[in-house]
């Protein structure tokens, strides 16, 4: 997500890649969730939080939509839910 937003891979000092192709955090989140489900033709079941869908989601310890863009990579898993059940937590 950070690379899509900043164009720079963490740990590399350099000019961002393809500035004209950078996307917003919201666009990156959609690309990694509902758009992936659409590519697999399972968007009616997964890819977003909605009544009737499987509750598959990851909670992280940082708000990746508001933290500094160069800190998105620091977000660590806090809990993982699969089909509505917690399968991992710190």
The confidence score (pLDDT) of residue 9 equals 84
Q: How far is CA 23 from the centre of its chain?
A: 13
Mean pLDDT confidence for 26-55: 95
Question: Is the pLDDT at 81 greater than 90, yes or no?
Answer: yes
Token pair of 20 as six digits = 């004209």
Q: What mean pLDDT, rounded, does the chain reach?
A: 93
Token pair of 28 as six digits = 């990156």
Beta bridge partners of 82: 85
Residue 79, φ and ψ in degrees, nearest 5: -160, 150
């Amino acid at each position: 997500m950070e690379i899509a937003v900043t164009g720079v891979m963490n740990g590399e000092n350099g000019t961002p890649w393809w500035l004209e192709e950078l996307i917003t955090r919201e666009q990156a989140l959609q690309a990694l969730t509902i758009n992936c489900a659409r590519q697999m033709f399972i968007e009616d079941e997964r890819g977003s939080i909605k009544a009737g869908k499987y509750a598959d989601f990851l909670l992280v310890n940082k708000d990746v939509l508001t933290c500094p863009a160069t800190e998105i990579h620091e977000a660590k898993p806090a809990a993982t839910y699969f089909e509505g059940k917690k399968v991992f937590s710190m």
